[in-house]
Amino acid sequence: MGLKKRKRDREPDEPSAPFWMVTYGDMVTLLLTFFVLLLSFSSLDDVKFKEAASSLNNELNILPKKVSILDYFKPRNLGESESDYVKETINRINNIAKELGLEKDINVEMTDTGLLIQLGDKVLFDPGEAALKEKSHPVLKVVGDAIKTKAKEVLVSGHTDNVPIHTPEFPSNWELSSARALSVVKYLIKEADVPPNILAATGYSEYRPIASNDTAESRQKNRRVEFLVTWK
């Protein structure tokens, strides 16, 4: 009886570490395993990975605000034939821009993530509308011809300035930016024979500006549709 009583009265051992550290350590281990698994794949889908990683980081806040997860996972370098094809694509788009007098409204550049094509809304739409203007067709046809055979994925994103819109068709800039991206995607499929399976459409409203929105000129720059093209 005395022995049993002594065992009952014995004080429990103090934990060697706070209990929260066990959960935290498990989470960090799982995150490390997750990213190692991603790296084990032979090819990395940059666009989808960027979206997934950004969503994950927004929830967990594991990276500094000015650091992208793609800074840690750079896409593979283009081969010689791919590099030539990208240069040819850039030249074709720039040439059609010059022919139509739209040099200031079209920008094409190669980024770490892929080929970025930016078309100002003056090229594509009337103010507050999502129906494509006829003069946009030659530009979109060149873009479609350039991407339909060798592109792996094309993310088409609509962007607006910060001026609110309130119409029955577009209650906010979210609807307008999304509708514009979708109009472009539909044209590429129907008129340029771009495979639907490589296209995606999204709207970012006013929340990813490339200029300040303080002047009419800067707001004009923010009203755009972007194509982010990754290669096979």
Residue 6, in any domain of the structure: no
Looking at the fold, whether 136 and 37 belong to one and the same domain comes out as: no
Single-letter amino acid, residue 148:
K
Looking at the fold, whether 132 and 210 belong to one and the same domain comes out as: yes
Looking at the fold, whether 96 and 133 belong to one and the same domain comes out as: yes
Looking at the fold, whether 30 and 86 belong to one and the same domain comes out as: no
Residue 3, in any domain of the structure: no
pLDDT at position 27, please? Answer: 77
Alpha-carbon 93 to chain mean position: 21
CATH of the domain at 115: 3.30.1330.60
pLDDT at position 195, please? Answer: 96
Range of the domain at 147: 80-231
Tell whether the model's pLDDT for residue 68 goes beyond 90: no
Looking at the fold, whether 64 and 84 belong to one and the same domain comes out as: no
- Per the CB < 8 A criterion, the answer to whether 153 and 45 are in contact is yes
- Per the CB < 8 A criterion, the answer to whether 204 and 215 are in contact is no
pLDDT at position 111, please? Answer: 86
Per-residue pLDDT tens over the stretch 79-110: 555 677 778 888 888 888 888 888 889 998 88
Domain count, the chain: 2
What pairs with residue 230 in β-bridges? 153
Looking at the fold, whether 128 and 64 belong to one and the same domain comes out as: no
Looking at the fold, whether 136 and 155 belong to one and the same domain comes out as: yes
pLDDT at position 85, please? Answer: 73
Looking at the fold, whether 113 and 187 belong to one and the same domain comes out as: yes
Residue 199, in any domain of the structure: yes
pTM over 0.75: no
Q: How far apart are CA 202 and CA 174, in angstroms?
A: 10
Q: How far apart are CA 214 and CA 171, in angstroms?
A: 23
Looking at the fold, whether 49 and 148 belong to one and the same domain comes out as: no
| 9 or 183: which leads in pLDDT | 183
Minimum mean pLDDT range among 16-25, 135-144, 217-226: 16-25
Q: How far apart are CA 96 and CA 142, in angstroms?
A: 8
pLDDT at position 67, please? Answer: 43
Residue 1, in any domain of the structure: no
- For residues 28-36, average pLDDT: 76
Tell whether the model's pLDDT for residue 58 goes beyond 70: no
